[in-house]
Structure 1
């Protein structure tokens, strides 16, 4: 009996303690709601909807950024993008530099209207990409665009298509030590260039090649045709510019250009491994004094200096061909950034472009290309080329031939037919016929 009373008393005490504890826990929950949504109406500033990550300028976004620039120059562009990410942790940059595949990739993206947020226009901002680019005329850096490059990146209505980080003023380059060794002055005409090539071949006993072209990459072959089509058909007083534009050009006349190219090979002025050598091989030969001329822009010198820091290189204008004509430089866009007009992240994209427009970043890009800056108020050390840019500052700068006088898509035609020509797969006449066929097909498709 006593044992039952003690059990009943213990059970009663236990039940009383449990109820008291539960009451205490309920009071704690009432004073500390499990989520901010329970009292959002009383304290909006503490709601998740007002957190820092959701503020308009803090929204987490990812920018797709794509450039045609490759090699070391692309690394410079990417380094700047990473610096931008450090200053803007809410913006991630997916940077891509696909190299030779860039143009084909962009054609697919244009067809599907799914462009990168930020992309380079490789000389075609107004002609090819105009309908895809946002107008950047209200950006702070616009007033700094250099007068020389302005016509290439703006139109008469005032639209600004891209940020020009540098401006192309280009022509072949030469190894100054090689020319000095064989007593050769910088050629100003095609005939002088051929005489120089013969001298180098003879005096070096074939150990130094006059022209080194990395034909396995194909685009260096296209560079030859793009450079020398201007003196062959455009720059002289008696020229074919209007015929290329209106479709009446007699393509039999074009034979002289592939014949000039083939002559380099048959006369022994071209590296024997032209069809297997790459651009990097050209840089190596140039650096080691085994090549006199590079049918590239000034960037070849920068690439070669990684191998030979003491290299003395120079820029030369494109030699004239017709009697009475003067040498020229090829010009226009080089390193650019445009913003896709339908980008879902257009504000962030413009912010990235503005970051590249900072003087220190413009200087980095222009220096990597060894080209004049695209914006005023920026100075760079172009090394050996500083004097060249000054010497040729008043020389005619003519846009690259394919950008003005050929329909979109002809670049690959020039490159691949050039490879076939050197391989013996086609004749000079067939080169011109293939050009005519594709010119007419593409021109008709784009009208």
Structure 2
């Protein structure tokens, strides 16, 4: 059995590597697609410059999903039309992106252009070309600039937009049942109970597409800062120096499990996907989504009239402040060893155009990463103004957990909801991997 499993894993890796390489074949007849094979590959073009007129193939990969990925792909197609000698192999593999990129880093065979998904400096820094000579650098917004630059002046990536994220709510549902936007965990739990009771179970308080795993990680990433960092009692120092007592973590997985036990989560949480969350939100069958503003835009594909609102992450303790999670969102970095550097720079600069920045930021319903770009945030324009002074904390896993812990949070969350582990075992598993990954680093 063990040999069979090993053979299967090796076979999958071999196939993945073969397909990844195929993406850079330079075949200009193949089409780019946001739902293409999750296979950003090694470029193998016959030209290293766009000035020769020879065909250049750029491999481009993003972690972005849903409608925002379609917007990115649409801009890539427009770029191709304006640059007929540059073909773009576009890949948006979703949940598999991080694992694919780890394999690519291990083999030093990166896509020409890729999304840094919050890790421009810490994880991908040694793989990225310095973009400080690009004309758009002078227009970087001051709020996001520290996330993609360092003290030496290196610019790691273009931040097309910047994350200022928190849970979202269906405004019609809250209005129908007389629910105020909750600002504390206690208020959130009471809102869930009221919605469940008043709707007779017809409306799910919180919908999570747990089959995709990353929505569970998103929930924990949002709430962990509230529980352990942003309040009156902060464990930030202990988390960074490795002395954090992981028994303190028990309260967060316990809270998550209680949501399930009390019927506040969708019953199919372990089989539902992100698309199901967006559809339920659009149909008024769910009140809250712990995703970010992009869930609203995804829901509008089903129901253009759905009214959504953004709310800060609830405070875990009464008297603490609400917060947002922030940092990098939609970015493009360039592999330092790409043989197509000039074409890649041209591609990235195309996304820095104000009209393209506006398209991407609107799709994500987020502020732009470039100064002087007006973004139509629709229903959320008022929310961004209302909450403009709410502090923004870096995503918990990016700031306080070693590389690799994201998958640990996701998997343990799934296992706990399935009844395979308890909240305390969740914390024990987090500690074990935390210590192991810190030691490895």
Tell whether the 8 Å contact from 1:209 to 1:290 is kept in structure 2 after alignment: yes
2:397 is aligned to: 402
Deviation at 1:325, TM superposition (A): 1.0
Q: Distance in 2 between matches of 1:54 and 1:127?
A: 30
Q: Distance in 1 between matches of 2:56 and 2:207?
A: 45
Q: Distance in 2 between matches of 1:444 and 1:53?
A: 41
Deviation at 1:396, TM superposition (A): 0.4
Q: Does 1:390 align with 2:374?
A: no
Q: Which of 289, 314, 317 is the aligned partner of 1:319?
A: 314
Tell whether the 8 Å contact from 2:48 to 2:340 is kept in structure 1 after alignment: no
Q: Distance in 1 between matches of 2:369 and 2:51?
A: 32
Q: Distance in 1 between matches of 2:267 and 2:274?
A: 14
Structure 1 residues 3-53: Cα deviation after superposition (integer angstroms, max 9, x where no partner): xxxxxxxxxxxxxxxxxxxxxxxxxxxxxxxxxxxxxxxxxxxxxxxxx99
Give the number of the structure whose alpha-carbon radius of gyration is greater. 1
2:336 is aligned to: 341
Structure with more helix by fraction: 1
Deviation at 1:322, TM superposition (A): 2.1
Tell whether the 8 Å contact from 2:50 to 2:85 is kept in structure 1 after alignment: no
Q: Which of 251, 260, 266 is the aligned partner of 2:261?
A: 266
Q: How is 1:75-154 mapped onto 2 (pairs within 5 angstroms)?
A: 75-154=70-149
1:251 is aligned to: 246
Deviation at 1:200, TM superposition (A): 0.6
Residue correspondences, number: 395
Q: Distance in 1 between matches of 2:49 and 2:156?
A: 31
Report SS of the residue matched to 1:398: strand
2:345 is aligned to: 350
Structure 1 residues 366-385: Cα deviation after superposition (integer angstroms, max 9, x where no partner): 11111111101111111100
2:236 is aligned to: 241
Deviation at 1:323, TM superposition (A): 3.3
Q: Distance in 1 between matches of 2:312 and 2:353?
A: 30
Structure 1 stretches of 4+ with a deviation exceeding 4 A read: 52-55
Deviation at 1:138, TM superposition (A): 1.1
Tell whether the 8 Å contact from 2:246 to 2:427 is kept in structure 1 after alignment: yes
Q: Structure 2 length normalisation: TM-score? A: 0.88
Q: Distance in 2 between matches of 1:107 and 1:343?
A: 17
Q: Does 1:204 align with 2:208?
A: no
1:38 is aligned to: none
Tell whether the 8 Å contact from 2:161 to 2:360 is kept in structure 1 after alignment: yes
Deviation at 1:56, TM superposition (A): 3.5
1:61 is aligned to: 56
Q: Distance in 2 between matches of 1:209 and 1:390?
A: 29
Q: Distance in 1 between matches of 2:440 and 2:131?
A: 30
1:160 is aligned to: 155
1:294 is aligned to: 289
2:33 is aligned to: none
Tell whether the 8 Å contact from 1:53 to 1:60 is kept in structure 2 after alignment: no
Q: Distance in 1 between matches of 2:126 and 2:57?
A: 23
Unaligned stretches of 5+ residues in structure 1: 1-51
Q: Report the aligned-residue RMSD.
A: 1.4
Q: Structure 1 length normalisation: TM-score? A: 0.87
Q: Distance in 1 between matches of 2:199 and 2:100?
A: 44
1:170 is aligned to: 165
Structure 1 residues 183-218: Cα deviation after superposition (integer angstroms, max 9, x where no partner): 111111110111111111111111111100111111
Report SS of the residue matched to 2:51: coil
